[in-house]
Amino acid sequence: MGLTRPAMEPAQGRLNARYAANSLGKTAFDLSTGGTWKEAMMIWQDTSSFSQGEKDRTPTCWTARAGVLQIVVHRHIHYEKTAWLLSCDGLRLGCRELSATDIADAKRETVEIVRGKLMEAIESLRSVE
């Protein structure tokens, strides 16, 4: 199932339709409460894995792609059960604990951290001749 761009209200540039599920059939990004299309461009996929006998199937791992970067917000067995972590191999960020306890806040914090790291890299390249 392909993704289509929902109709937009021209005055505010806000989405007025619910964003569809991704090709894996899992919820990617819910914009039913409103949001800009630009915010929806980063699609988070539930990439959790579970044992066959595991009863609780609450998502514990979310993955998004930004160009060549694969960004993962996940939980880890060696951290508190409520802790969310960020991993992004392309930026050498492995199991960095986030302050957020809610998944939506964890995703926002992750984007801010990745954006900051990319800006640092750009600034360091500007000094190279």
pLDDT recorded at residue 101: 93
Q: Over the stretch 44-62, which tens digit does the pLDDT of each residue have?
A: 999 999 999 989 999 999 9
**Same domain, yes or no: 64 and 40:** no
**Token pair belonging to 103:** 């998944």
**Same domain, yes or no: 22 and 68:** no
For residue 26, what are the domain limits?
A: 1-45
**Same domain, yes or no: 33 and 72:** no
Residue 50 lies in a domain: no
The DSSP code for 37 is H
Q: How many domains would you assign to the chain?
A: 2
E strands, the chain, in order: 8-9, 14-15, 45-46, 61-66, 69-74, 85-88, 93-97
**Same domain, yes or no: 94 and 122:** yes
Q: Which of 9, 40, 38 is nearest to 30 (CA)?
A: 40
Residue 55 lies in a domain: no
**Same domain, yes or no: 80 and 23:** no
Pairing of strands 85-88, 69-74: antiparallel
Q: Over the stretch 12-56, which tens digit does the pLDDT of each residue have?
A: 333 333 333 333 334 444 444 455 555 556 899 999 999 999 899
pLDDT recorded at residue 86: 97
**Token pair belonging to 65:** 């792609």
**Same domain, yes or no: 40 and 74:** no
pLDDT recorded at residue 128: 83
Q: 70 to each of 16, 49, 89, how far by Cα in Å?
A: 29, 17, 7
Q: Over the stretch 66-124, which tens digit does the pLDDT of each residue have?
A: 989 999 999 999 999 999 999 999 999 999 999 999 999 999 999 999 999 999 999 99
Residue 103 lies in a domain: yes
